[in-house]
A and B are shown apart, each in its own frame.
Chain A
Amino acid sequence: MGVQGFKGLGWFLCGVVVAPACYLVNSHGAAEQAKLNATKLAIVQAQRDIRGLETEFNTRANLAQLERWNGEVLALAAPAPQQYLAGETALASLGQQPAEVQLAALVVPAGAPALQTAAQVVVPAAVPVQGAPQTAAPGKSVAQQDQELRKLMKKADRQAIASVDRGVLSAGTIDDLQKLAKREKLALR
């Protein structure tokens, strides 16, 4: 009897709670679907708008119009054959003036100190920086420039060498190491 009564309640619960809940899930799904569709429609609309605008831009800036603008304002001409480069070699040699080549030659062999080996890495990086003020002061004679350059080079070398001495292992560090070694020796005894 009691079971029978609960059976009725079960059906009742099923109708009142479970079915609406299922429906809720279903309708939620449908709502999401509708939203998705709306977004898709918006995308399609946007694509159509893009197409329309593209067409308008194309029409307003058609080649005849560009030609007119070029005639009135831009005045661009077709590039001459000299403006085309044959390959990487041509590209690399582009804009290299003979004067600059001389400059590079002047730096490397001339009167550079013999202890350059340690500073070799530093020198090429420093060259363009030195080159700039040099070209900016055209009033100086070649000899003067040469001297200045040499001075600068020496300075750079000194700095580089000094930094090599100090930077890698300072006197303090070596002292520390020696102390440590002593302590370890004592501990072993």
Chain B
Amino acid sequence: MIVVVAPPTRQGRTGGARQALVAIAQVRLMILSLLFGTGMLVVVGKLALLALWAEPAVARDMAMALIPPRGDIVDRNGAPLARSIDAWSIAVHPNQLIGDKTVLAQKLAELIPDKSAGEYYALLNSGGNFAYLKRRAMPELVTAVNALGEPGMEFQREPDRLYPQSAMAAHVLGFLDSRGRGVSGMEKVLEQQLSDPARRGKPVSLSIDARVQAALENELGRAMTDLQARGAAGVILDVHTGEIMAMSSLPSFNPNALPGAAPPNNVTQSVYELGSTFKPLAVAAAIDSGAITNMARRFDATKPLHIGRFSISDDPGDEQFRWLNIPETLVYSSNIATARIADELGAARMQDLFRRLGFDRRPAIELGGAKPLWPNYWGRVTVMTTAYGHGIAVTPLHLANAYAVMVNGGILRPTTLLKVDPGKVLAGERALKESTSARMRQLLRLIVTRGTGRKADAPGFRIGGKTGTAEAASAGGYDKHRNVSTFAAAFPIDAPRYVVVAMLDSPKANANTPRTTAGWTAAHVVGRVVTRTGALLGVTPDNARDIDVSEMLPLIWQGPVPKAAR
């Protein structure tokens, strides 16, 4: 017997009901497939869009990865002075803390001794959402804080500005605020360029030479500590381009440590009566305007000069009590003789020169600077006192640029902190005659070889310059016990390339430095700086070369010849 096992035939619906069901199913299927279809279309369309218009993400990212969030600042040789780095920062969310806050504050105070445990405790209990504990943290510190195991801590990488040379050139570079914008110095001046995405990839070259800057700061700092001076300033200027090779103002600050208020830049923001360093300027004015044609012409310096109630006398120790010619006036730094020269010159011609040297306006430099104190009234006495640097106050940068004009052939160029391409040096404007400049070079050299600037004579570098010791201005008059000692020099004087100005504010005498006049203090600094940096600046020391001063030498009276020699 054969048993056939088969499913029973389905009792399907029949007729119209079944057809209706099929129709509904078909419509549903259609809708579903349409939906899928549109979905696919959307995906395909998006893909097509991406394929056609989206640029590969990798290439763009890679190009961006190498562009720092803020442009680098480098020195003239490419050594970095300011860079952006990825730094760690440690922050806390006080409202998300779960551990014991007293213990945590204690441990934080041990790890980050910036604040006391009490301060940390107050911070943790503030209940705020976010507070920085430490920015620019070292990786070790981050690890240590992380090991505390507090979930309310946050560690972030954030771009930060690093000044690898720390306090060096701090006044030139300036610093950033907490939002990463330049507050002072070149960071502020170059803000646009440094933050512009198109331009920030290329570092900005300053005119500063880091090695020279370091030497200048080191020597100034040493002198300032030795002599317990209140402050110091120094600048090295290229006389042919106006580039500032080094500029230092002490006391300085460390821009890495985000100071509250930075000390002022004494080179550009402080004005001083710079004393006898103005004498060569007055003499240059006299020679340039033709008031003096003969170097052998003598001026009476036998006794103090009285004009009304005012009296001009020579510095004790430097008096000569005789008639002095032009070289002698500068070599012995005679106030009386200079005043007589200025008297001959007159107010108009004196002012004219000062104006041509830019003493009536702020220094021409990117950083900006202080406005000089220009006398309101140019009486006879004013003309005389300005000739030896009293009654007119300018910044050390003004003085440096004036000396550059005096030695470079008489061309005034604006000073700059940005590197100047050799082909793009400004033409400048003529402030002195070429012949005056040549004459001044000889006179400046004589001051160093024969006069008050002997301590500045760096062997082989042919320095020429002038000392200046002015009584420091204090409330309503002069302080007899404080002085501002300045030395302004140019080297090598036979073919000048650089001007160096060093200034010490209120130096005190000590065992090695019996006097506080510039010849003992600032001149020494300049001598040392030039010895250290001259070769770096491209000047080869040479004992065999010097400027020809033979026509001037006979004019300097050597004093009575000793009997043995006669």
Interface residues of A (CB under 8 A from B): 37, 40-41, 44-45, 47-48, 52, 54-55, 58-59, 62-64, 66-67, 78-82, 84, 86
Interface centre among A62, A79, A84, by most chain B C-beta atoms within 10 angstroms, is A62
Question: Please, how many angstroms separate the alpha-carbon atoms of A108 and B86 in the complex?
Answer: 72
Contacting pair A48 B65 (CB below 8 A): yes
Question: Please, how many angstroms separate the alpha-carbon atoms of A67 and B65 in the complex?
Answer: 35
Give 15 A-B pairs besides A59-B166, A82-B543 with Cβ atoms closer than 8 angstroms. A41-B58, A41-B62, A44-B65, A58-B164, A59-B162, A63-B165, A63-B214, A64-B166, A64-B214, A64-B218, A67-B214, A78-B532, A80-B460, A84-B535, A84-B542
Contacting pair B535 A62 (CB below 8 A): no
Query: Please, what's the 1-or-0 string for B194-221, where 1 marks a CB less than 8 Å from any CB in chain A?
Result: 0000000000000000110110001000
Contacting pair A64 B58 (CB below 8 A): no
Contacting pair A37 B211 (CB below 8 A): no
B459 within 8 A of A: yes
Interface residues in B404-445 by Cβ distance below 8 A to A read none
Interface residues in B489-548 by Cβ distance below 8 A to A read 531-532, 534-535, 540-544
Question: Please, how many angstroms separate the alpha-carbon atoms of A48 and B159 in the complex?
Answer: 13
B54 within 8 A of A: no
B152 within 8 A of A: no
Contacting pair A40 B166 (CB below 8 A): no
Closest residue on chain A to residue B169 by CB atoms: A63
Question: Please, how many angstroms separate the alpha-carbon atoms of A84 and B166 in the complex?
Answer: 33
Task: Note all chain B residues with C-beta closer than 8 A to A48.
Answer: 65-66
Partner of A79, one of B65, B535, B544: B535
Query: Please, what's the 1-or-0 string for B63-87, where 1 marks a CB less than 8 Å from any CB in chain A?
Result: 0011000000000000110010110
A interface, by DSSP: helix, strand, loop or mixed?
A: helix
B167 within 8 A of A: yes
Question: Please, how many angstroms separate the alpha-carbon atoms of A80 and B210 in the complex?
Answer: 22
Question: Please, how many angstroms separate the alpha-carbon atoms of A54 and B162 in the complex?
Answer: 12
9 A-B pairs whose Cβ atoms sit less than 8 Å apart in the complex: A37-B58, A58-B164, A59-B162, A62-B165, A63-B213, A67-B218, A78-B531, A81-B542, A81-B543
Task: Note all chain B residues with C-beta closer than 8 A to A80.
Answer: 459-460, 541
> Chain B nearest CB: distance from A33 CB in Å?
9
> Chain B nearest CB: distance from A128 CB in Å?
32
Contacting pair A62 B168 (CB below 8 A): yes
Closest residue on chain A to residue B79 by CB atoms: A58
Q: How many pairs of residues, A versus B, come closer than 8 Å at their CB atoms? A: 68
Interface size class of B (residues with CB under 8 A): 20 to 34
Question: Please, how many angstroms separate the alpha-carbon atoms of A172 and B79 in the complex?
Answer: 73
Contacting pair A40 B79 (CB below 8 A): no
Closest residue on chain B to residue A84 by CB atoms: B540
Question: Please, how many angstroms separate the alpha-carbon atoms of A81 and B210 in the complex?
Answer: 23
Contacting pair B210 A63 (CB below 8 A): yes
> Chain A nearest CB: distance from B121 CB in Å?
34
Question: Please, how many angstroms separate the alpha-carbon atoms of A166 and B374 in the complex?
Answer: 96
Task: Note all chain A residues with C-beta closer than 8 A to B164.
Answer: 55, 58-59, 62
Task: Note all chain B residues with C-beta closer than 8 A to A45.
Answer: 65
Contacting pair B66 A47 (CB below 8 A): yes
Task: Note all chain A residues with C-beta closer than 8 A to B460.
Answer: 80-81, 84
Question: Please, how many angstroms separate the alpha-carbon atoms of A43 and B194 in the complex?
Answer: 25
> Chain A nearest CB: distance from B546 CB in Å?
12
Question: Please, how many angstroms separate the alpha-carbon atoms of A80 and B535 in the complex?
Answer: 10
Question: Please, how many angstroms separate the alpha-carbon atoms of A44 and B218 in the complex?
Answer: 38
Contacting pair A78 B535 (CB below 8 A): yes
If A52-B85, A55-B83, A62-B165 touch, whether A40 touches B62 (CB-CB below 8 Å) is yes
Question: Please, how many angstroms separate the alpha-carbon atoms of A81 and B218 in the complex?
Answer: 22
Task: Note all chain A residues with C-beta closer than 8 A to B459.
Answer: 80-81
Task: Note all chain A residues with C-beta closer than 8 A to B532.
Answer: 78
Interface residues in B214-240 by Cβ distance below 8 A to A read 214, 218
Closest residue on chain B to residue A60 by CB atoms: B164
Question: Please, how many angstroms separate the alpha-carbon atoms of A52 and B210 in the complex?
Answer: 20
Partner of B541, one of A59, A66, A84: A84
If A44-B62, A48-B65 touch, whether A55 touches B541 (CB-CB below 8 Å) is no
Task: Note all chain B residues with C-beta closer than 8 A to A67.
Answer: 214, 218
Contacting pair A44 B168 (CB below 8 A): no
Query: Please, what's the 1-or-0 string for B152-178, where 1 marks a CB less than 8 Å from any CB in chain A?
Result: 000000000010111110000000000
> Chain B nearest CB: distance from A27 CB in Å?
16
Contacting pair B168 A64 (CB below 8 A): yes
Interface centre among A64, A80, A86, by most chain B C-beta atoms within 10 angstroms, is A64
Question: Please, how many angstroms separate the alpha-carbon atoms of A47 and B62 in the complex?
Answer: 11
Task: Note all chain B residues with C-beta closer than 8 A to A63.
Answer: 165, 168, 210-211, 213-214
Question: Please, how many angstroms separate the alpha-carbon atoms of A39 and B534 in the complex?
Answer: 47
Question: Please, how many angstroms separate the alpha-carbon atoms of A41 and B85 in the complex?
Answer: 19
Task: Note all chain A residues with C-beta closer than 8 A to B213.
Answer: 63
Question: Please, how many angstroms separate the alpha-carbon atoms of A59 and B165 in the complex?
Answer: 6
Closest residue on chain B to residue A85 by CB atoms: B540
Question: Please, how many angstroms separate the alpha-carbon atoms of A55 and B218 in the complex?
Answer: 22
Task: Note all chain B residues with C-beta closer than 8 A to A40.
Answer: 58, 62
Nearest 10 pairs of A and B residues by beta carbon: A81-B460, A63-B214, A81-B541, A58-B164, A59-B164, A62-B165, A37-B58, A78-B532, A81-B543, A44-B62
Task: Note all chain A residues with C-beta closer than 8 A to B165.
Answer: 58, 62-64
Interface centre among A45, A52, A54, A81, by most chain B C-beta atoms within 10 angstroms, is A81
Contacting pair B542 A86 (CB below 8 A): yes
Question: Please, how many angstroms separate the alpha-carbon atoms of A78 and B211 in the complex?
Answer: 13
Question: Please, how many angstroms separate the alpha-carbon atoms of A168 and B131 in the complex?
Answer: 95
> Chain B nearest CB: distance from A148 CB in Å?
42
Question: Please, how many angstroms separate the alpha-carbon atoms of A45 and B168 in the complex?
Answer: 30
Closest residue on chain A to residue B536 by CB atoms: A78
Question: Please, how many angstroms separate the alpha-carbon atoms of A41 and B64 in the complex?
Answer: 12
> Chain B nearest CB: distance from A105 CB in Å?
28
> Chain B nearest CB: distance from A182 CB in Å?
75
